[in-house]
Amino acid sequence: MDPISGIKTYKDTTFAMMLAAQRRGLELHYMEQGDLFIEEGTAMAASRAVTVEDNTGDWYRLGDEEVRPLSELDAVLMRKDPPFNMEYVYTTYILELAQQQGTLVFNNPASLRDANEKMIINFFPQCIAPTLVSRNLDQIRDFVRRHGEVVLKPLGGMGGESVFRTHRDDPNLNVIVETLTGNETRFIMGQIFIPAISEGDKRILLIDGEPVEYALARVPMAGETRGNLAAGGTGRGVELSARDRWLCEQVGPRLQQMGLTFVGLDVIGDYLTEINVTSPTCVRELEAIYDIDIAGRFIDVVRDRAMARRDVA
């Protein structure tokens, strides 16, 4: 995970998972990205036992560092936030080796590499609004011209970072595209602007392919297009609509097959806009609104699979 000293406990989903695991009597070990390494073909880590408390002050205690093969752990949760860069890719190689050597990794590291959170929606064309992935200036300008109002965004960001709403008459369109693409050296995504964003960008959580019954609608603040909580959006709980459930039915089985066990779908209006697989959030907010144990449902899946694997071994 990212450094535990810097998390906001009231909204951190990884922290919610730690609390849920601890309530179930599971032993927790804490690792950051730089604690992983490979030595003589073995995936290793410098880990520390950790205990957590649900408060905003003194919320964790770390034990002494122990260097061990990752295969000694029953399961590893990969909860490192983007950016999705080459360091992230190298980390997935270490975790894939650990998986080969006997531990379970959630989410599946090979699928973390394959399932870019923006790009993967294109494998479900029945679920998405008109979308373009390109780094060609003329193609992107033509897409904006044809659709009138468009959202442009990089493929590797998070939290609404560098997301632009633009239109065919925008005098800054060229410079926006040049900046995002690095003068046509980086692919970006364009999606038509969906007015239903005013009702919120819904985060729907899937656990092992099945949706949680409530979503968090992240409503943009006044004058904003982005609903991301990190960009000032306000979260409110909503029940899943029939369309939401249909979208989950379309994508859930494939994500489950890929070993993407904990996933966050972003839905605006009737359309799927992203599939978050690296470190989906919004658990704490939904648990507070509805008094449900979402993190516990996920940890139960992890525990049950680890126990089944141990029984087989």
Task: Kindly indicate the confidence band of residue 313, based on its pLDDT and cuts at 50, 70 and 90.
Answer: low
Residue 2 annotated in active site: no
**Is 135 a known active-site residue?**
no
> Domains in the chain, ordered, with CATH?
4-107+297-312 (3.40.50.20), 130-192 (3.30.1490.20), 196-277 (3.30.470.20)
Of the residues 118, 202, 284, 303, which is catalytic? 118
Q: Catalytic residue among 96, 117, 266, 285, which? A: 266
User: pLDDT tens digits, residue range 247-264?
Assistant: 999 999 999 999 999 999
Q: Which residues in 28-168 belong to E strands, given as ranges?
A: 29-30, 36-39, 42-52, 60-69, 75-77, 104-106, 131-134, 149-154, 164-167
Mean pLDDT, residues 6-22 taken together: 97
58 annotated active-site:
no
| 170 is an active site residue | no
Q: Determine whether 118 is an active site residue.
A: yes
Residue 218 has pLDDT above 90, yes or no: yes
Tokens of 40: 């003589």
* Closest to 90 measured CA to CA, from 153, 36, 26: 36
pTM, rounded to two decimals: 0.92
> For residues 52 and 137, what is the distance between their CA atoms, to the nearest angstrom?
49
Confidence label for 211 from pLDDT (cuts 50, 70 and 90):
very high
State the catalytic residue, choosing from 48, 80, 226, 303.
Answer: 226
- Which residue of the set 276, 285, 287, 303 is catalytic? 276
- For the question of residue 153 being annotated catalytic, the response is yes
Give me the catalytic one of 12, 208, 274, 287. Answer: 274
Which residues face 192 on adjacent strands? 150
Q: Please, are residues 256 and 250 in contact by the beta-carbon 8 Å criterion?
A: no
pLDDT value for 223: 64
Mean pLDDT of the chain: 95
pLDDT grade, residue 86 (50/70/90)? very high
Spot the catalytic one: 218, 244, 284, 287.
Answer: 218
| Arithmetic mean of pLDDT, 59-75 | 98
How do residues 110-120 score in pLDDT, each as one tens digit? 999 999 999 99
Instruction: Please confirm, yes or no, whether 274 is among the known catalytic residues.
Output: yes
Q: Which of 153, 202, 284, 303 is catalytic?
A: 153
